[in-house]
Structure 1
Amino acid sequence: MFALDFKGQFERMKTRLDLMKAFLSDIEDLKHKNEVAKAVLTKLREIIYETDNVLTDCILRDEYKKHCVAFGLIPS
C-alpha cells in the first residue's frame, strides 16, 4: 500500500516540478525579452533625441540663413 501511495505522490510532485520548470522557462524568456525591449527603447530614445537635435539644427540654420539674406549679410 505504501508503494502505491508513494507512486501517486511522486507523480504529483513530478507534475508540479514540470509546471515549475515551464514557468521558470517562461520567466527566463520574458526576462530576455524585457532586456531586449529595454535595450531597444534606450537606443530608440537616443535616436529620437539625435533626430530632434538634427531637425532643430536644420531649423536654426534655415532661420539664420533667412535673417542673413533679409539683412543682406549673404547673397540669396
Structure 2
Amino acid sequence: MGAGIHDEEGKLVAGLSLSAPSDRLDKAWAAEVKQTADQISYAIGFRPARRAADVRSQAGQSVEAAANSLR
C-alpha cells in the first residue's frame, strides 16, 4: 500500500509505501500510511485547499481556451 507526497505546488514529489507478507498485512494500515503521507506533504508546504483552487483555475483556463479555439 502507498500514498503520494506533494510539495507546495501540489506536485507529486515522493511516495510513502508499506509492504508486508499478505498474511501479516492489515488493511487498516492504509489509513495510517495516507495520514502520514499527508503530514509529510503538509510539513513541506502542501495545502490541499490551495491545490484544489489551482486545479479549478487550470480547468477553467482549459475550458476557456477550448471555447476560444472554436470561435
Same fold, judged at TM 0.5 (above): no
TM-score (norm 2): 0.36
Structure with the bigger percentage of strand: 2
TM-score (norm 1): 0.34
Structure with the bigger percentage of helix: 1
